[in-house]
Amino acid sequence: MASEMEVDAVVPGDSIDEGLYSRQLYVLGHEAMKKMATSNVLVVGMKGLGVEIAKNVALAGVKSVTIYDPKPVEVADLSTQFFLRQEDIGKPRAEVTGPRLAELNSYVPVHVLPGSGEITPDMVAQYQVVVLTNATINKQIEIDEYCRSKGIYFIAADVRGLFGSVFNDFGKDFACVDPTGEQPQSGMVVEIDEGEDAVVTCLDETRHGLEDGDYVTFSEIKGMEALNGCEPRKVSVKGPYTFTIGNTSGLGTYRSGGLFTQVKMPKILHFRSLKESLTQPELFTTDFAKWDRPATLHVGFQALSAFYEKAGHLPRPRNASDAAQVISLAKEIHSTGNGEGDLDEKVLQALAFQATGDLSPMVAVIGGFVAQEVLKACSAKFHPMQQNMYLDSLESMPREEPSEADCQPLGSRYDGQIAVFGKSFQDKIANQRQFLVGSGAIGCEMLKNWAMMGLASGPKGVIHVTDLDTIEKSNLNRQFLFRAKDVGKFKADSAAAAVAEMNPDLKGKIIAHQDRVGPETENVYGDEFFASIDGVTNALDNVLARQYMDRRCVFYQKPLLESGTLGTKANTQVVVPFLTESYSSSQDPPEKSIPSCTVKNFPNAIEHTIQWAREAFDALFVNPPTTVNLYLSQPNFVETTLKSSGQHHDQLKQIEKYLVKERPMSFEECVMWARLQFENDYVNSNGTPFWSGPKRAPDALKFSLDDELDMEYLVAAANLHAYNYGIKGTRDLAVFRKVIESMEIPEFTPKSGVKIQINENEPAPQANDDEDDIDSIVASLPSPASLAGFRLSPVDFEKDDDTNHHIDFITAASNLRARNYAITEADKHKTKLIAGKIIPAIATTTALAVGLVCLELYKMIDGKDKLEDYKNGFVNLALPFFGFSEPIAAAKQKYGETEWTLWDRFELDGNPTLQNVLDWFKDQHKLEVQMVSQGVSMLWSSFVPPKKTADRLGMRMSELVEHVSKKPIPPWTKNLLVEVMVNDEDDEDVEVPYCLVRI
C-alpha cells in the first residue's frame, strides 16, 4: 500500500475535505456529496470496465466500494485492466485489484467481497447501488429483480470491442432533485402585473434565462410584499425579459424593486425492470446519425449472451460461423419479442466478430458514464439515463479490415485489441510517436489509455510528455496516476513512471519534459522535434496554450487531438492536416465581464463584490510593495516615472505611504492599519441620490470586536500587511482586541464634490493632484541607498493554500461590501471559485472525454482521409446528452485559378534575397508583391523610398529581418514565416497563403 493520503486534521467525521474534493465540489455541491458519503457501492466483475467504474466512484468519494470477481486473472485482461500486472496471472482478480484501488482515496475503504462462484441475490443485500459488468442477461435479470424488490439501485454495463451497453433501473419512483446541475437563474424585476396570469418584466440588461415549467420565488419586492419568499410559482415564458407566474390578484400593487430566483424542483422518474425492458426498451440515443442502430444492438447484446450460455464461450474473433449463429439467435429473439423493423445484419456481424475484444478507449467512455450514473443514484443530483444505452464507434475500424487469422489471440497483453483490429494494426499502434502536451487530469487518463493500447511500445515508438506543474493535493481527486507521496513532484515525471508500471513495454519509451510550450521553448520543440513525431495530443487547461499548439501543428502540418472539460460537460475535436479546420478557426463567445462602474459603485450581486475584493487584494498587498521595490532597485525611478506616466502622483504617494508615513515596525501597527482600512472601505461610503433599479444605496457598517466577519477581515488584512514587511503575524484574537481597544478612530467627514462614474462611457474620476506638492513628496522619500538591501514582499495570490489568508481576506472583504449593499453573502468555498477562476472538474467526465479522443486516435493512426470518418464530440453527463458531428472542413480561398486553405503555404529554399522573392512571385504566380512583413517587422513595401529599396533588395531574407527588427535570429531558427500582400494581373489585391522561407 502507498503512503496514506494526508487527511485534513480539521475534518470531523461527516465533513468534506475541501482541499481534496475542491474541484469536484463545484460540480456536485456539498449536499450531493454528503448523500454520497452514506452510500455503499458494489461493483461486480473486475476486468477493464469494472475497474474503470470502481476507480471513478472511489475518487468521487462514496462511503465504501466493494468489488467482487473471484475468477483468475488471464493475460488478455491486461488489455484494459490497468491495476493488474503480468505476475498476477492466475490469481483471483478482485483480490489483486482491491489494495491498488484502495490507494486512490483514503476516505473510501475498498472491500473485496468473499465468495467463489457467480454473484447471488443474497450477496448484494447490504448495498445501496449494485453494478454488474461482464454478466449474462439471465444473471442481470435475477439480480435486478432482487434489487428492485429491496429498493437497491441497479446498473448493468458491458463493453464488446467497439460496442458498449448500459442499463439503469433506479426503481418505480426515483426523485431527482436537480435534473440539470446548472446554477439557478436570478435577475432583477422592474414590473409585476396584478391579475389572473400576471406578467413579470425583468431589467432589460440581461435575459432571464428561464424555461417553461421552471419555478421561481421572489425577494426585496416593494408593494407586492406577499410574493417575497412565496411558495415557488410555475413560470410560463413570454419573451427574453418577461414571464408569467399565475394569479397575483389581491396581493396589492407593485411599486418597485425585487429579485426573482429560480427554485429547483424535484422530478419523479419511473423505471422499468430489466425483464420488461428486454421487450419494451426505452432507448437512449447517443448518436443521432445512427438513430436506427440501438434497436439492433438491443437484440444483438441479448443474442451474444444467449450464444455464450449455449456454447460456453463468446463468438471467436472474426469467425463467420459463430457470427452466423449470433445473427440467427438475434432474429429469433427479435421475432419472439414482436420487434419492429429489420435488424442491421452488418452491425450484428461486427458485434459477433468483436465480442472477445476489449478496448481501453471504449472502456473509458462507458466506465466514465456508468460511474456518473452511480453518483446520480447515490446523490439524486443530475438526471439519470433512461434506460437502455448503446454506443459504438465502428468507424474506428481500419479501412482494410483484418483477416480472421490476423485477429487470433497470441497470448499477449494486447489480445483484447488484436481481436478487433488485428496484429498488423497493433504493430502500427506500437510504432506511433506522439507528443502529449500536459499531464494533469486529461493527461493522466490519456497516458493510461495509451499504456493499455500499447501505443509507442514498439521499436520505433516514443511518447513525449511535457508539463511544468508540480502535483498538489487538490489534483489527487481526479489525476489518478498520482498518490499522496507524489505531492510536490513534477507531474510529467510521476505520470510517466506510473504508466510504465502499468505496462512495462513502455519503460524507456516515455520522455518527460518540464517545459511550457511557447515561443521561449521553440529551441526544444522546433523543426527536428516536430519532424520526429506523428501527431500532437493536447491535455491543456487554457485557451492561449491550445491556440499556440494549434498554430504549431498547422505550421508543421501535424494532426492534433483536442479536448476539454467543464464539470459534467466535455468536448473533443479532431484537427487533420489538409482536411479539417484548425482549433483556432472558430472561437467561443467572450466571457461576460462586469462593467467596472458596477464593481466600484453599484454592486448588486455577490460576483460584483468578489471582483471588487479581488482587485482590493492586488491594490493593497501586491501593487504597492512592487512599486516600492522598483523605487528601491531602479536608479532614477522617480525621474522616469514622472516623465512616463499619468499615474505618477498616485505612485509617489503610494511609495511615501508604504515606505515613510505608514511603514509598520510591529504586528500591532499592522492591526491598526487593518482597522483603519476597514473604516475606509466600509464605513465612509458615499451616499448619492440616484439609486434606483440595479443601483443600490450603500449603508455604512459599524465595526464590532464581537462580529466574526469584522474580525476575519482584520486578521487576514493585518497578516497580509505584515507579510509585505516581513513581520511575523498571528491569528491570536487577544492580540487584536488589545490593539483595537486602545485605538482612537477619527470621526468621518464626507468629502464634498465627489464625482461617481455612473456608466462605462463616462470617464473615471481623476484624483486631485494639487493637494500634495509632488516635490515635497519626493523630498520626503528616503534615498534608496539609505535602505540598501531592504525590500518589501509582494503577495503572490494562491487560491489553494487555506493557511495563507488570501481567500480569507477576499471572502471577508467581499462579504463586508455585500453587507454595505444588502447583497446575500457567499462562503469561502464559493468565493474561491469566483476569485480563483477555478474550473470545476470531476474524474467521470475526464475519463469519458479521453476515451472519445482515443477512439479518434485509432482513425488517425489508420490515416483516414475523409471528413465523415471523424467525429467531434459534445457530452453533458448531467442531462445526460451525447452529440457527435463531422469536423468542419478547412475553409477554401482562391487566387487566380488556385484554391488554398490554412494548411497551404509557399515554400522558398536557400535563404533568397528580397529581389529573388519579388521575382519568384511575378514569374511563378503572376502576382505583384506590394508588401513583405515578418512578425511585427515590415521588411519592404512599394512605398518605401527608392534609396532604402535599393539597399534592401540585395539583402538575403535572414539579413533583412535582422536589419529591420534590430534583433538577431535565434541560432535554432531554420525557417522564417513571411507574410506578403500581393495584386493579381488586374491589379486587384488577393489573399494568398504565407511564405515559408528556409534560411
Output the domain CATH number for residue 769: 1.10.10.2660
pLDDT of residue 11: 38
The more confidently predicted of residues 834 and 596 is 834
| pLDDT for 645 | 63
* Cell matching residue 680: 475606509
Let me know if residue 560 belongs to a domain.
no
* Residue 60, in any domain of the structure: no
What mean pLDDT comes out for the span 273-295?
Answer: 96
Q: Which residue, 789, 811, 836, sits at the end of a domain?
A: 836
pLDDT at position 961? 96
Q: Nearest-CA neighbor of 363 among 105, 134, 62, 69?
A: 134
Give the per-residue pLDDT at 780: 87
Output the pLDDT for position 852.
98
> Residue 749 — very low, low, confident or very high, per pLDDT cuts 50/70/90?
low
Write down the pLDDT at residue 762.
67
Mean pLDDT score, 779-805: 92
Same structural domain for residues 614 and 756? Answer: yes
The residue segments making up the domain with residue 210 are 186-263
Give the pLDDT confidence of 618-665 residue by residue, as tens digits.
999 999 999 999 999 988 888 877 666 666 778 888 999 999 999 999
Domain check: are 805 and 933 in the same one? no
Q: Does some domain include residue 510?
A: no
Q: What is the pLDDT of residue 690?
A: 41
Examine residue 936 and state whether it is found in any structural domain, yes or no: yes
Same structural domain, 783 and 920: no
Banded pLDDT at 15 (limits 50, 70, 90):
confident
Q: Is residue 621 part of a domain?
A: yes
Last residue of a domain, one of 263, 278, 313: 263
Please state, in angstroms and rounded to a whole number, the distance separating the CA atoms of residues 294 and 283.
Answer: 7
Please give the Cα distance from 950 to 965 (Å, whole number): 18
Q: What confidence tens digit (pLDDT) does each residue in 796-811 have?
A: 999 999 999 999 999 9
Query: Is the pLDDT confidence value at 751 over 70?
Result: no
Name the band, by pLDDT with cuts 50, 70 and 90, for residue 204. Answer: confident
Sequence-ordered list of residues with C-beta below 8 angstroms from that of 644, at least 6 positions apart, any chain: none
Residue 764: band (very low, low, confident or very high) from pLDDT cuts 50, 70, 90: low
Over residues 483-501, mean pLDDT = 96
Q: Are 830 and 906 part of one and the same domain?
A: no
Lowest-confidence pick of 3-7, 19-23, 513-517, 675-679: 3-7
Does the pLDDT of residue 127 top 80, yes or no?
yes
pLDDT at 646: 65
**pLDDT at position 591, please?**
77
850 pLDDT tier (thresholds 50, 70, 90):
very high
Confidence of residue 223 (pLDDT cuts 50, 70, 90): very high
829 shares its domain with 944: no
CB 827 within 8 Å of CB 757? no
Whether residue 871 lies inside any domain: the answer is no
Q: What is the average pLDDT across 930-950?
A: 95
User: pTM value?
Assistant: 0.93
pLDDT tens digits along 854-887: 999 999 999 999 999 999 999 999 999 999 999 9
Q: How many domains does the chain have?
A: 3
The burial of 808, by beta-carbon neighbours within 10 Å (0-12 exposed, 13-18 middle, 19 or more buried), is given as buried
Statement to judge: residues 830 and 919 lie in one domain: no
Q: Is the pLDDT of residue 336 over 60?
A: yes
What is the average per-residue pLDDT within 478-488?
Answer: 94
Model pLDDT, residue 774: 77
Split at pLDDT 50, 70, 90, the class of 772 is low
Looking at residue 516, its pLDDT comes to 94
Instruction: Indicate whether 640 and 772 sit together in one domain.
Output: yes
Residue 233 is part of a domain; what is its CATH number?
Answer: 2.40.30.180
pLDDT at 995 over 70: yes
Domain stops at, among 817, 836, 855: 836
Q: Which pLDDT belongs to residue 9?
A: 35
Contacts of 572 (CB under 8 A, 6+ apart): 561, 562, 563, 849, 852, 853, 856, 872, 873
Task: Read off the pLDDT of residues 66-94 as tens digits, 9 standing for 90 and up.
Answer: 999 999 999 999 999 999 999 999 999 99
The proportion of the chain whose per-residue pLDDT surpasses 90, expressed as a percent, equals 85
The CATH number that applies at residue 959 is: 3.10.290.60
Q: Do 640 and 718 reside in the same domain of the chain?
A: yes
Residues 746 and 642 both lie in one domain? yes
The angle that helices 843-862 and 441-453 make with each other, rounded to 10 degrees, is 50
- The strand ranges marked E within 845-897 are 872-876, 881-885, 893-895
Give the pLDDT band (50/70/90) at residue 696. Answer: confident
- Label each residue of 926-973 as H, E or C: CCEEEEEEECCEEEEECCCCHHHHHHHHCCEHHHHHHHHHCCCCCCCC
In a domain, 955, yes or no: yes
Q: Is residue 467 within 8 Å of 518, Cβ to Cβ?
A: no
Write down how long the chain is: 999
Mean pLDDT of the chain: 93
Binned at pLDDT 50, 70 and 90, residue 746 comes out as confident
Read off the pLDDT band of 8 (50, 70, 90): very low
Do residues 839 and 739 make contact, with C-beta atoms less than 8 angstroms apart?
A: no
- The share of the chain scoring above pLDDT 70, in percent, equals 94
pLDDT for position 766: 61
Q: Which residues are marked as active site?
A: 597
- Is pLDDT above 80 for 747? no
How many CB atoms are located within 10 Å of the residue 831 CB? Answer: 25
Q: How many helical (H) and strand (E) elements, i.e. helices and strands, does the chain have?
A: 30, 33
Specify whether 694 is located in the same domain as 830. yes
Tens-digit pLDDT profile for residues 977-990:
999 999 999 999 99
714 has a pLDDT exceeding 70: yes
- Whether 796 and 697 map to the same domain: the answer is yes
Q: Would you place residue 206 in the very low, low, confident or very high pLDDT band (cuts 50, 70, 90)? A: confident
704 shares a domain with 636: yes
3-state secondary structure of 276: helix
Give the separation between CA 228 and CA 218, rounded to whole angstroms: 5
Domain for residue 570, yes or no? no
